[in-house]
Amino acid sequence: MTALRLDIEYDGAAFLGWAEQPGERTVEGVLRDALDVVFRSRPAIRVAGRTDSGVHASGQVASIVVPDGLSEAEPVRLRRSLAGLLPQDVAVRNVTVMPDGFDARGDATSRVYDYRLLVGPPSPLRRDRTLRHLGRPLDRAALDACAAMAVGQHDFRAFTPTETNHTFFHRTMIECAWRDDGDEWVLRLEANAFLRHMVRVLVGTMLECGRGRRDTESFRALLEGAPRSDAGITAPPHGLTLVAVRY
């Protein structure tokens, strides 16, 4: 058997997340439908990060295992075949033959997300890619302080739903920082792994600090295993993009 790496990009607006669900339009579902046509079977897919409904990806990675006997040109043909079978809001950008046993999820060392906040005038072309800030100006220093606090190993249970399958809530945040990108503020987060909704609750809570609704020291306390009820709102999904997976 041969392991293949699929580098995937998608617009999450019209998908009910990554994971295949009966009767629902999901990224995994349409990808498996396309692979079924190519291989006449529905191969199991391992994905680096299971994105939620409405979340986008420019650097998603998945792996599949297919029968041996691929020629050197086969990955290119597979990419072209998938391009003709997949809908316009998802694409396999590259196919790579990997060493035996490659697992897109298990072998990943970190995932990288961007959350984009529009602080300028309305932008119709970016309405599905950015969260537009309304109201009085945000305290950027407070946002920067919260982001800096999140770096390192913490108990992030305050930033994931109370009803969860997770039993271990410590994650190591490698990078968490706001940067300017024209009239957008972009939060870049890299961690060894993320809890469900973790990025969006972090963003929502940071924005409450930026609006003066909570102080930054209360944000620090959330990183010590506080309950979900102590943290802020869950930011909308459309501002979030999975941009890279590290191996």
Contact 198, 172 (CB under 8 A): no
Give the DSSP letter string of 151-174.
SEEEE-GGGS-SS-S-S--EEEEE
β-pairing, 110-118 vs 2-10, is: unpaired
The residue type at 175: E
Is 52 part of the annotated catalytic residue set? yes
- Going through 146-226 in order, the beta strands assigned E by DSSP cover 152-155, 170-181, 184-191
Contact 118, 131 (CB under 8 A): yes
- How far CA 190 is from CA of 95, 116, 197, in Å, comes to 24, 15, 14
Contact 216, 142 (CB under 8 A): yes
Identify the sign of the CA torsion 177, 153, 232, 241: positive
C-alpha 226: how far from its chain's center? 24
- Residue carrying the six token digits 């396309």: 34
Out of 52, 103, 139, 230, the active site residue is 52
Cβ neighbors of 213 (< 8 A, separation 6 or more) are: none
Q: Supply the residues annotated as catalytic.
A: 52
